[in-house]
Amino acid sequence: MIKIIGTSATTLTTALVFPALVSADTHTNSVTVYAGPQSVSPGKPIYVTVEATDRSGASLNKMPVTLSYKGDGTIQTITGRLEKGLVSFDVPAQTTAGYMTFSATVSDAYSNEAIVAVIAGRPQKLYLIAKSGDTAQSVTLSSQVISDKFGNPISDLSLVIIDWIDQSGLKGRQTVQLSNGRVLLTTQCPVNFEGTLNIRATLGDLQFTSPKLNALCILGEG
């Protein structure tokens, strides 16, 4: 009688513990996603690598991988297969400035989230309007929103170089930082100038030269 009870107890214990060990084994894979560069212009490639290992740290092999990300408001998925624990993807950056988040699954194991910032690309056009300022000999310079070819405003960290130029050459220089993607600057005319007076604005490899500003700065004409 005692021996039968002992055998039953042992069998019950094994039945309870064994499935728990099997369940734990199916959740011990480690999946990590790497994505870069940290910031990229619209349409440029983002390089994504998925790494997967088992509970002992050994590389998984030949297992399917699903990479998920959101681009321009749509959730996308790409599939691949691990080779020596790794699989790589090239994903074009979305056309809208913002963030893209990448994650992956291998079997029932989930990865971290890797984030890449999509920033405005090359500015397409630079055009300034010059008007008389509120004080004598002052000029207000302004622009529309300066954007890339996808309509993304250029970063407010961008600097525009403003050069005053007459027939003798450079009369003065200053820089202005964009505000909400625009140029807005009130500045003083040169104290003296000769001949035609212009402003040349430079942003990266873009340049804009204003029509002559003699009428706005007439008092300084020599």
Q: How far is CA 220 from CA 10, 18, 185, in A?
A: 104, 93, 20
Indicate the pTM of the whole model: 0.74
Confidence at residue 9, expressed as pLDDT on a 0 to 100 scale: 37
Tens-digit pLDDT profile for residues 170-210: 999 999 999 999 999 999 999 889 999 999 999 999 999 99
**Among the four given CATH numbers 3.10.270.10, 3.60.15.10, 2.60.40.1930, 2.60.120.200, the one describing domain 129-217:** 2.60.40.1930
Gap between the Cα atoms of 8 and 121, Å rounded: 72
Token look-up 């970063």 returns: 155
CATH code of domain 28-118: 2.60.40.1930
Confidence at residue 59, expressed as pLDDT on a 0 to 100 scale: 95
Tens-digit pLDDT profile for residues 75-128: 999 999 999 999 999 999 999 999 999 999 999 899 999 999 999 999 999 999
In the chain, the amino acid numbered 5 is: I
Give the helix/strand (H/E) hosting 118: strand 114-118
CB-based contacts of 164, cutoff 8 Å, min separation 6: 170, 171, 172, 173, 189, 190, 193, 197, 198, 199
The domains spanning 28-118 and 129-217 adopt the same CATH topology: yes
Grade residue 134 by pLDDT with cuts at 50, 70 and 90. Answer: confident
CB 65, CB 52: distance < 8 Å: yes
Q: What value does the mean pLDDT of the chain take?
A: 87
Domain regions of the chain by residue span = 28-118, 129-217
